[in-house]
Amino acid sequence: MTSEVKDTSKAPQSKGDMILDDLFLGELEDRSAPRISLSLPAKLRASNASAFSVTVNDLSLSGFACHALSSMPQGTRCWLKMPGMESMQAEVVWNDGFMIGCSFDKLLSQVVLDSLIARYSEPTVFNV
């Protein structure tokens, strides 16, 4: 039995290939912690820019996703200011034009995460 390795360096040739490539790349995405669905008001600021209001929609020890109409590209350094906390440095991992996903430079404390969940969570927990 042979093992086949998919070459992701080539551009997809058709819409079907693009869907398959999205599914394949999704399998490679590494989630280091379960994400918790919540509705947390926060401020997000990119390097050399002013902060703007966002709503964090999911949060984990290692990162977050929030609604943000922003053009911050992947790799942008940013800071998330959550209620009652110092700003946390993060990096944009993805941006679809309506939402931004970021990974924290330093993991969020489990105690802090539990406190934020108790105050702002919605009842859904998901692991993707």
Domain count of the chain?
1
Using the Cα atoms of residue 26, residue 126, residue 31 and residue 39 in order, give the sign of their dihedral: positive
Q: Residue 75: its pLDDT value, please?
A: 95
Whether 128 and 36 have beta carbons less than 8 Å apart is answered as: no
Give the pLDDT confidence of 78-116 residue by residue, as tens digits.
Answer: 999 999 999 999 999 999 988 999 999 999 999 999 999
Fill in the amino acid letter for 25.
Answer: L
Residue 4 within any structural domain of the chain: no
Q: How far apart are CA 87 and CA 124, in angstroms?
A: 26
Residue located via tokens 């539990």: 114
Residue 121 within any structural domain of the chain: yes
CA distances from 116 to 2, 47, 92 (A): 48, 25, 21
Residue 6 within any structural domain of the chain: no
Q: What is the pTM of this model?
A: 0.69
**Structural domain range at position 39:** 35-126
Q: How many other CB atoms sit within 10 Å of the CB of residue 90?
A: 22
The answer, yes or no, to whether residue 3 has pLDDT greater than 50, is no
Q: Residue 13: its pLDDT value, please?
A: 43
Residue 73 within any structural domain of the chain: yes
Greater model confidence, 121 or 80: 80
Q: Residue 70: its pLDDT value, please?
A: 80
Q: Residue 123: its pLDDT value, please?
A: 60
Give the pLDDT confidence of 10-21 residue by residue, as tens digits.
Answer: 444 433 333 333
Give me 25's structure tokens.
């790349």
Q: Residue 128: its pLDDT value, please?
A: 59
> How large is the average pLDDT for residues 3-11?
42
Residue 17 within any structural domain of the chain: no
- CATH value at residue 122: 2.40.10.220
Q: Residue 66: its pLDDT value, please?
A: 95
Percentage of the chain modeled with pLDDT above 90: 57
Q: How far apart are CA 22 and CA 27, in angstroms?
A: 9
CB-based contacts of 103, cutoff 8 Å, min separation 6? 62, 63, 90, 91, 93
Residue 71 within any structural domain of the chain: yes
Residue 96 within any structural domain of the chain: yes
Residue 41 within any structural domain of the chain: yes
